[in-house]
Amino acid sequence: MRTPLIAGNWKMNGSTALVEAFGKVFSQPGLPVNVDVTIHPPFPYLEAARRAFADTRLTLGAQTLNPLHSGAHTGEVSGGMLKELGVEYVLIGHSERRKLYRESDDHVCDRVLAALSAGIKPILCVGETLEERDAGRTMEVVLQQVGHVMAPLEPAQRARLAIAYEPVWAIGTGRTATPEQAQEVMAGIRHYQAGYDEELAQQLRLLYGGSMNAKNAAELLAQPDIDGGLVGGASLKAEDFYAICQSA
Ligand code: PEP
């Protein structure tokens, strides 16, 4: 019922050569018919990626955006600019941005609204730290992050959002949440969404992120509430990422 979505977050990594390698690997047949795939390279590679991915199933993603349309904001990029480059998805609220660039839930919410008004689908990233998990606060923290963004949205806007559950302790650490741990939180997010609208909750795509790789992807993606993955490190090798997409 829900089309799986696999998103590759290159973070501040990559090169023109990597863009081209992805174009080549993803021009092979062999992906499941029913999977959406998006690559989120750094901004300078978006145009090269648009050209290299033209004959593939890869779509374009960005890693963040500024909530404003234009103006005196040196170094920033707006949703309208990304849309013009063909960007379909944007990551918002990644834990690295929350921590390193002090993005609060309010900033995250503004960016989600800006993406939606630019016609770009937001992938809202949420997740707890290890201290929060150990204190038994996982669901409280995750639902607070989700709720802060969902509350002001209209139903039609909610329908365009995907949510990536990324336990902070699993990102880039090689320590993956067990399929059961991930499923428990994803089911909690879907249940929360059902409080707004049962039908939308059933359509909501929930991605798992945190050291997903070609070996553990199939088991995670087999969970009933996991509809895809947000992949960091393992999205930097075209063959590995292709193998993850094949598990979807
Ligand atoms: C991420 O950056 O969102 C991520 C999940 O990274 P990794 O797969 O490397 O843990």
- As averages over each run of 10 residues, the pLDDT of the chain (248 residues) reads 96 98 96 96 98 97 98 98 98 97 97 98 98 97 97 94 97 93 98 94 97 97 98 98 97
Beta bridge partners of 127: none
Catalytic positions, please? 94, 166
Question: Would you say the CB of residue 152 lies under 6 angstroms from ligand 1?
Answer: no
Question: What class, spelled out in words, does domain 5-246 have in CATH?
Answer: alpha beta
pLDDT at 196 (0 to 100):
87
Atom of ligand 1 nearest to the CA of 234: 8
**Domain spans in the chain, listed from the N-terminal domain onward:** 5-246
Distance separating alpha carbons of residues 246 and 248, to the nearest angstrom: 6
- Which residue, judged by its Cα, is nearest atom 2 of ligand 1? 232
Atom of ligand 1 nearest to the CA of 94: 3
- Which residue, judged by its Cα, is nearest atom 8 of ligand 1? 232
Pair 103, 141: CB distance under 8 Å: no
Q: Which residues are annotated as a binding site for substrate?
A: 9-11, 172, 211, 232-233
Which two structure tokens, joined as six digits, stand for 117? 């008004």
Q: Which residues are annotated as a binding site?
A: 9-11, 172, 211, 232-233
pLDDT at 1 (0 to 100):
82
The question of ipTM being above 0.95 is answered as yes
Atom of ligand 1 nearest to the CA of 173: 10
How much is the pTM? 0.97
- Check the CA dihedral 206-208-213-214 and report its sign: negative
Question: Would you say the CB of residue 232 lies under 6 angstroms from ligand 1?
Answer: yes
Beta bridge partners of 205: 162
- Which residue, judged by its Cα, is nearest atom 7 of ligand 1? 232
Q: Tell me the chain's radius of gyration from C-alpha atoms.
A: 17
Pair 165, 179: CB distance under 8 Å: no
Pair 133, 169: CB distance under 8 Å: yes
Three-class secondary structure of residue 38 per DSSP: strand
Using alpha carbons, select from 110, 235, 145, 225 the residue that is nearest to residue 177: 225
Question: Would you say the CB of residue 63 lies under 6 angstroms from ligand 1?
Answer: no
Question: Would you say the CB of residue 229 lies under 6 angstroms from ligand 1?
Answer: no
Question: Would you say the CB of residue 126 lies under 6 angstroms from ligand 1?
Answer: no
- Burial of 50: CB neighbours in 10 Å, binned 0-12, 13-18, 19+: middle
Pair 58, 38: CB distance under 8 Å: yes
